[in-house]
Amino acid sequence: MEKFTLKKSLPSCRVDKRLLAQIETFFLTQVARGFKKEIESMMYVLEVKNPGELRKFSVTLLTREGILDLPSMSEFKGEALDPSLRKAVVSLKLGRPELIDITLTFSRQGFPLMELTTFSKTVHQAGAQIHQKLLSIMGNWSNRNWIVHHRLFRGALILAIPGGVVGYGYLRQLDLSRLLFAQGWLLILAALLSLALTRIFPRTSFKTRRHINFRMLGALVLFSTTLAAIAGYVTLLLFELGHLSR
């Protein structure tokens, strides 16, 4: 049998208990009910009386302490997610053999990802509708952090600082050959500044219990230090070139 796989990215967002619970409701109601006829046919062939036997749902939370597998978010007893949470995976499998295997992954390292696997072409085509409904659900939790991760933004930021310095030097009639030669370090510092912004504004963040976020503190230190280094480097560079041009 031919296997169909569909992967769709989702917008950057801030994940909390309510979002995971709402996705669970969507999976167990709209998605599961959407394949009611197929499941009933399987129940008849396999002589299964309870449709729950052909359905497996789970929420997996990966933290520093280990992996927590939950059959439902209602089983999660904490007031908020664990501060060390690195990844959350919501999974639904229907049928035997599996009619649909859909997984939604939230990870600090990337955008939320929906992955759907099936042996049915019809189910594969329905994946686009599931993706659109997930986009609608996640609208209340989405943020604009994706902007600082976009290649155009990062490229513009890295080039804007050296470009601005060169433009200023041109207007002041400074030695452009020396000015251009000195842009190497400025490009490196601008790249570090861009990296710091991606750490401050991750693609996916988690709303957790109050704690000291050392990851965020490190990113803020990197950002402020790099910004100060850029300001100092530009000031010193323009001062020296201005002095030489006299």
173, two tokens: 């009639």
Phi, psi dihedral angles at 36 (to 5 degrees): -60, -45
Q: Judge if 70 and 185 occupy the same domain.
A: no
Q: Judge if 92 and 154 occupy the same domain.
A: no
When divided into structural domains, the chain yields a total of 2
Q: Judge if 61 and 157 occupy the same domain.
A: no
119, two tokens: 């042996």
Residue 112: the pLDDT is: 93
What CA–CA distance (Å, rounded) separates 73 from 59? 7
Segments of the chain with pLDDT less than 70: 1, 175, 211-213, 241-246
Question: Would you put residue 240 in left (φ > 0), alpha (ψ -120 to 50) or beta?
Answer: alpha
Angle, vertex CA 143, rays to CA 142 and CA 149, nearest 5: 120
Q: What is the SS3 assignment for 96?
A: coil
On whether the CB atoms of residues 76 and 70 are closer than 8 A, the answer is yes
Q: Which domain holds residue 159?
A: 146-244
* Strand-strand pairing, 55-63 and 87-94: antiparallel
Last residue of a domain, one of 86, 113, 140: 140
Q: Judge if 13 and 101 occupy the same domain.
A: yes
Q: Judge if 135 and 152 occupy the same domain.
A: no
Q: Judge if 15 and 84 occupy the same domain.
A: yes
Q: Judge if 119 and 167 occupy the same domain.
A: no
Phi, psi dihedral angles at 81 (to 5 degrees): -70, 155
What CA–CA distance (Å, rounded) separates 173 from 179? 11
Last residue of a domain, one of 114, 140, 166: 140
Q: Judge if 39 and 160 occupy the same domain.
A: no
Closest CA to 225 of 187, 183, 185, 193: 193
What CA–CA distance (Å, rounded) separates 166 from 164? 5
Residue 188: the pLDDT is: 92
Q: What is the pLDDT of residues 9-63, one digit of tens each?
A: 998 999 999 999 999 999 998 888 888 887 777 777 777 777 777 789 999 999 8
Residue 19: the pLDDT is: 94
Q: Judge if 102 and 167 occupy the same domain.
A: no
Q: Judge if 135 and 57 occupy the same domain.
A: yes
Last residue of a domain, one of 140, 162, 177: 140
Q: What is the SS3 assignment for 94?
A: strand
Residue 212: the pLDDT is: 62
